[in-house]
Structure formats: C-alpha cells, structure tokens
Structure 1
Amino acid sequence: MNFKKLKIPSIILLLILIVVAIIYIPTIRKAILFKKAMALDNLEHTFINMDEHIPTKKVDKAGKPFVFPRIKNITLPSNFVYKESEFDTKKYIDSSYTQGLLFIQNDTIQYESYWRGQQEDTKHISWSMAKSYVSALFGIAIEEGYIKNIDQTVDEYLPEFKGSGYDNVKIKDILQMSSGVKFNEDYSDPNSDINRYWEGFVFGGSQDEFAATLENERPPGTYNKYVSIDTHVLGMIIVKATGKSLTDYLEEKIWKTIGNEYGAYWLADEYGMEQANGGLNAALRDFAKLGRLYLNKGNWEGNQIVPANWIDKSIIITEEHLMPQSENSADKGFGYGYQWWIPEGTEGEFMAIGIFNQYIYVNPTTNTIIVKNSANENYYDGTNPYSSTFVHIELFRKLAHMNE
C-alpha cells in the first residue's frame, strides 16, 4: 500500500472532522445543558431564565403602561374542597411549586405574591398559554383582511403542507384541536412526538419542517385531541398572511395597545420562527391583561383590539366532540374553543393552560382573573392532587366566590 497516496485524503478528512466539530459540538453542548436545565429539580430557575438556553425575539413594553389598581393583599381562604377532599390553601400553593399567584376581581388586584425566584418584573415561560395569544392574533388577522375565514384549508396558505397530515384540513379544525393529525403529546414519554419535536427545536431544527412530517390519523373535525403542532401551523399561517413575525404582530396589535408594563420575549428556532405553541415569556400582571382583554370582549379602554365576535366564538363550545364529556374527546372534563379551555360549569369560565401548572383563569360571572405560574416537580405524576388542573380550578373558584 502506498501511504503517500493517503496523505492528502487524510488531511482532508481531518479538516472535515474539525469543521463538523466546530459546527455541531456547541449545539450538542447546548442541548445537553438544556436537558439538565429541564431536570425537575432545576425547573424553578429554568422557567424564569429560558433565554439562557434558546434563541429569542424581543417584544417591547408599552410606552404608556396600564396599571391595575390594588388593595393590600387579602387573607386567602384557609382551605378549599375538591371531591370531598379538603386542601389547605397555603400548603396547596406551596406544594404545587407556585412561583407567582395573582388574583384580580372587579378590575382590582386582591392578592399578588411571588416565590421561588420570580418577581413582578420576571419573565416566566407561558408554555401553552401562548396558544391563546396566537388565537387572539388570528382573530385580528381575519378582521384586518389578511385571512379570509376559518373554513379555508391550511394548504391554501401553506402549499408546502400538501400531502402532509394537514393537507385539506380546515383552519377551524386546527383552532379547535380537531385536526385529525396523529401526535403523542405525552411529555413524560421520552419517545413521544412532543419530545421529538422539542429535541429538534433545541438542536436548531426547523419547526415548519417538523410540522410537515406529521400524518393524518382520523377525519378532521370529528375528534378533539390536543396537538401542540396545530398551534404552530396557525402561527405559520399568520406569518405567511400578514408578512410579519408573530413577535412584531403581537407587539403591535396586543402588547403595546393593552399597556403591558414589561417587555416579553418569544423563543424561536434557528430559522427565526417563534415557538407559537408555548414559547412566550412574560410577567405575571401582563399575562393577566390577556384575561382582562377577553373578559371585556376584546375591548380595551374603549378600543376594540380583538373582534368581539371572535372572542364569543373562542370561549364557547360549538361542536359535540368539543364537549367536556364527549366520547369523541381525549380530554374528559374540559371543553375546547379556539385555543381556550372551557371547564365544566355554569359560570362561563375559560382558561389558558400550560404544562407544569401555568394558568390564566377567567370567570365572567364574578369578574375574576387569576394567573398562576408554577414549576411543579410533581407535574408528571397524574395521581398527585398538587399537579391536577381539576383541583387548581376548585382553588380558583374558591377565590372567585370568597366574598359572597
């Protein structure tokens, strides 16, 4: 064998390995660090410092902030009941790893407190509460004529989805989490689709390309099944139709117009597309302002921000498969609107909900808004009452009715 002939190819191979190392080692290191950050005992820090791990896009605060009137913090009720089990309120707040709790009634802050590193100006990850912001932006985009109507199909705006699970699926079905797309949303399963999505996102992959790989499972508009990528597709449509990023559109149409006190940031992939389904980071009181906007039918101090008819349609159940106890729903006990959850009840309540117990709860009957940020280490334990949304709702209802 003539080793002289191998000398130049070996150098080329070495150069290739060096280039690959330069490109990929930082990304791999970042992914390893993020996996460590998402360990249950690190969540308290991670959830208020997501910008340490993932690229972001900045949302500027309002020039003239809206400030809720407030009173001295009320004394919280000592206990509340869920299915004949009594819970100590303070223990429940602590044992659900609460970082921020805000209770507003009749447009006045009744109670506001922070724990575990969060403060009033801290930007906390919204997780899936961001979906409700995307819904609001969608309604605005329709009102402004960028999007014709929700009976149009995805591929009319995104032809790259031809042949995918979103081909010929109506926008309405995506808004109502009824796309028919096959997807496993189980965060506790390391091999689930949602975790595959997250792995790609952290490694710098394209969310758009990931969405195009999904396949159909059942006829659209027949079954309510939560698929986070549905919201990403809504975000893609907004960007394509308006020609603006989600960040810019949010800042222009909502953030500054409702007087948000602090800036925010949206997590984004390496291609600049925001994580529409859960990447918004904001302060507790600014999250509450979305609740106030919807409580007032999209009107903010005399200015109609989100169309009132869009609000009405967003927070009611219009199809049988969206009913809380429908056999055609994967989420028993909750109804679903346009990216808003609708609990069983008679008071018109609706909620934005994110994993690890993030909530914007709105009760129109009692004129109540409650926001809770959490970093619940027990979230994956389905038997733990301190991670249960159903138990949280009873806490919120206790607060909403405590003055009666």
Structure 2
Amino acid sequence: MKTWKKIGLVLLVILIIFGVWFYPKYKMLNLTMHLFDEDQIVHNFRSFDAVWPVSTLEAPSTKHPFPKGKSMELPTNFKYNGKDVDTQEFLEDSWTTGFLIIQNDSLVYENYYLGNTESTRNISWSMAKSVISALMGIAVEEGDIKSIEEPVELYAPELKGSSYEGVRIKDVLQMSTGVKFNEDYGDFFSDINRWGRGFAMGNSQDAFAATLDRELEPGTINHYVSINTHVLGMVLKRATGKTITEYMQEKLYNPLGMEFDGYWLLDGDKMEMVLGGLNLTLRDYAKVGSLFLNEGMFNGEQIISKNWVEASTIPDGPHVQPGESFGYGYQWWIPKGEQGEYMAMGIYGQYIYINPTTNTVIVKLSANPKYNDDDYLPSNDGPHVELYRAIALSYLPVEKPVDLDSTIE
C-alpha cells in the first residue's frame, strides 16, 4: 500500500506540474481557435490580458487629454458606389465598439458600443504596424539606426541565411521584401494562421521569421506580409537595446501624455507581438493619429521628425502607388485621392484615418465576425473610407476643390 501511495503521490505531482505548464497554453490556444466566433469576438478583443502574457505601457502622471470642441452630429448617410448608405446601420452592422473624431485637435465626437467604454483597451491588430513605423523613425532620427538603406541582418544577425538576408529596412517598411506569404485569415492553413497558432503556444516569432521563403526580388512588388513588421521589431529592439515596450514608453507614451495604461501581447520569448498585439483605448489611438496629423509635433515638442512623417505617408516608388484602392508608405495605407489622406488599418475593422486637408482624425474600433465575407458591405475598407470622407469633407472650406474621382472600390 505504501508503494502505491508513493506512486499515486508522484503521479499527482506530475499532473500538477503538467497542469501548471500546459493550462495557460491551453487557454491561449483555445482563445486563438475561437477568437473570431460571433458570440465571443467582442469580449475577446478587449480581454487579451486576462489570458495572454503582456507587458504594460503605464499612463504617465502628466496626461494630455484632448480638449473638447463643438460636438458634431454624424451624417445621416454617405455615398458608396453611387448609393446611399445609412451611417448608423453601417456602424451597427460592422460591429463598431468605439468611434471618435478629432477636429482641429479637439474632440468633437465620441461614442462606445457593445459594452466598450472610454477606458477599454482594445486590440489594434495591424494598426500597431503604423506605431512601430513611428518608433523606427525616432530610432533613425536619433542615430540608433543609421539608415533604412541598410540590410536588416546588420541589426538582426539571426536573419542571415534566411529570406530576409540582404533586404533593406526600407523594403520591409514598404512591405516589399519579396517574401512568400499567405495572409488569408479565412484559410486555416495560411501562413498567418500557422504563425498565430504557434504564437498561441508561446513559440518564437524570431524563429518563425527565419523559416519563410523568398519568391520575388526585394523592392519591386508590394506584397503584404505581417511578419515583415516583426522583422522591424527585431531591428528596433537590437538597435536601441531596449524592449519595444520600454522604447515606446519613453519615446511615445510619456511625451503624448496617454490617458490610460496600455499593453503589448508577448510571445514565449517575451518579445512583443509588434505586427498587431498593441492594446490601447480609443482616445490613445487618436493620439497617434493627431501626432502624425501635426507632422510629428505634440505639445510644442517634435517627437517624430517631419521628414519621417512625410516619407511614411507619401508613396515614393511605382510599386507602392495607389491603384484602384490603396497605396503604401512606411506601414501606412494611402487611399487613392487628392487630399493627402492616410490610414492605419487592422483586421476586423480597426482604423485610424487622417486627413491633413481638413485637419481631421477619425478612429474606429470594431469586432466584425463577418470580416472575411467580402460580399458583406461593412467588411470592406472602401465604404469605411467614404464614411470618413463624408465626415471630414463637412469641415472643408467651400472654396477648396474636392476630388470627386477618388472613390475607393
């Protein structure tokens, strides 16, 4: 009996150790597998810190909330492909969780839906890429990164021998690395979903990046590859000697006087999920938009160089020009048009829209479970752009010409 008791005790200890090690991974994997389920998606998008390892961005003691401006009413409807779209129905049908408008650096509209509030930290998805671009610009300006013409392996030597060897930092910024990658979120076996399942199990993102193949000459074709942004994160971390969280805290979070704590999701090596794992409030996302609208200036301080803001938001080569829809800058999307607009965009309906002509910033957070259905109007970027334009153009002085041939399809 004593022997069986000892065996039982050993088995119990083994089970406890296994449970302590495996259960957190099970929770993360389970969340990943059900992340976009219609009955869970809204909760999931605002609750990652309950399941995932995170690093915290602390709201500074000196906060800089937006001043309140004259409240505006949203347009009753807007035009898309020649048809009227009801604004409120569109917001509801796209599962909007937060909507905010900054006009002339003042808050003129703010509303929350589906249980979100002003203090809700919501996942950015790929809007985080634009934030990483901003941090890269600071590192270049301060000399930690000497030039974006340099190859990435100069800063991240573990990429030697991979498809990223010899690729310029600029090519990575412009999503023109030539790396072969399937970004289809609706395809269970796509590269992005393979990466996601590995991330959920705590696997190294650095190691995943080094496994990808090359199919095109770098700098020739714009092909969206989320892992490119992880490579930027590798470069930034090694160039500055700081974690992404530490660097963002010092260079953006404190100077912008963010109102609430934020956080980054971490992999098993405690590396931030820079391609989409930033979680901020609606207002604090708007701070990033306002910073770019003001050419990198905030509260009298030049936080990002004006040159970097311009280079980030103006396509400078034939392969990144807007076609029928969007061009691409340094991790920013540029709609076809004449107003100088640009956007940070994330899957499932996350947007920071910036219009320098009208001095407007619009932020929309969403949790649209029908995102992968292209036939579902609210799942498309085009009508979102037209909604933002309808709002922004209401502030445009009548004497300024409006380009009427820039509809995003």
Structure 2: how far apart are the matches of 1:363 and 1:72?
Answer: 19
User: 1:355/1:256 Cα in 2 relative to 1: closer, same or farther (>3 Å)?
Assistant: same
Matched, 1:239 2:237: yes
Structure 1: how far apart are the matches of 2:28 and 2:107?
Answer: 40
Structure 1: how far apart are the matches of 2:45 and 2:242?
Answer: 27
Q: 1:103 aligns with which of 101, 104, 116?
A: 101
Q: Equivalent residue for 1:349?
A: 341
User: 1:22/1:111 Cα in 2 relative to 1: closer, same or farther (>3 Å)?
Assistant: closer
Q: Equivalent residue for 1:135?
A: 133
Query: TM-score with structure 1 length normalisation?
Result: 0.92
Q: Equivalent residue for 1:291?
A: 289
Name which of structure 1's ranges 316-325 and 64-73 shifts more when overlaid on structure 2.
64-73
Q: Equivalent residue for 2:404?
A: none
Cα offset, 1:245, TM superposition: 0.5
Whichever residue aligns with residue 380 of structure 1, its letter is N
Cα offset, 1:109, TM superposition: 1.5
Structure 2: how far apart are the matches of 1:193 and 1:101?
Answer: 32
Structure 2: how far apart are the matches of 1:17 and 1:389?
Answer: 51
Cα offset, 1:352, TM superposition: 0.3
Q: Equivalent residue for 1:176?
A: 174
SS at match of 1:373: strand
User: 1:124/1:22 Cα in 2 relative to 1: closer, same or farther (>3 Å)?
Assistant: closer
SS at match of 2:310: helix
- Root mean square deviation of aligned Cα: 1.9
Q: 1:400 aligns with which of 392, 401, 409?
A: 392
Name which of structure 1's ranges 274-283 and 159-168 shifts more when overlaid on structure 2.
159-168
CA contact (8 A) 2:358 2:395 kept: no
Cα offset, 1:53, TM superposition: 2.1
**What is the total number of aligned residue pairs between the two structures?**
389
SS at match of 1:370: strand
**In the TM superposition, what whole-angstrom CA distance separates every residue of 1:28-71 from its partner, at most 9, and x where no partner exists?**
34412442343232111111111122110000112211121224
**In the TM superposition, what whole-angstrom CA distance separates every residue of 1:257-299 from its partner, at most 9, and x where no partner exists?**
0111111000111211000010000010110111111111101
Q: Equivalent residue for 1:371?
A: 363
User: 1:144/1:97 Cα in 2 relative to 1: closer, same or farther (>3 Å)?
Assistant: same
Structure 2: how far apart are the matches of 1:167 and 1:314?
Answer: 23
CA contact (8 A) 2:55 2:266 kept: yes
Structure 1: how far apart are the matches of 2:57 and 2:337?
Answer: 36
Whichever residue aligns with residue 214 of structure 1, its letter is L
SS at match of 2:126: helix
Matched, 1:46 2:44: yes
Q: Equivalent residue for 1:3?
A: none
Query: TM-score with structure 2 length normalisation?
Result: 0.91
Q: Equivalent residue for 1:360?
A: 352
Whichever residue aligns with residue 205 of structure 2, its letter is Q
**5+ residue gaps, structure 1:** 1-9, 326-331
User: 1:17/1:64 Cα in 2 relative to 1: closer, same or farther (>3 Å)?
Assistant: closer
Q: 1:120 aligns with which of 118, 121, 138?
A: 118
Structure 2: how far apart are the matches of 1:43 and 1:160?
Answer: 36
Structure 2: how far apart are the matches of 1:317 and 1:382?
Answer: 26
Whichever residue aligns with residue 376 of structure 1, its letter is N
Matched, 1:384 2:382: no
| Percentage of matched positions with identical amino acids | 49
Cα offset, 1:74, TM superposition: 2.2
Whichever residue aligns with residue 74 of structure 1, its letter is M
Q: Equivalent residue for 1:204?
A: 202
SS at match of 1:40: coil
Structure 2: how far apart are the matches of 1:346 and 1:33?
Answer: 42
Structure 2: how far apart are the matches of 1:146 and 1:33?
Answer: 37
CA contact (8 A) 1:69 1:109 kept: yes
Cα offset, 1:165, TM superposition: 1.0
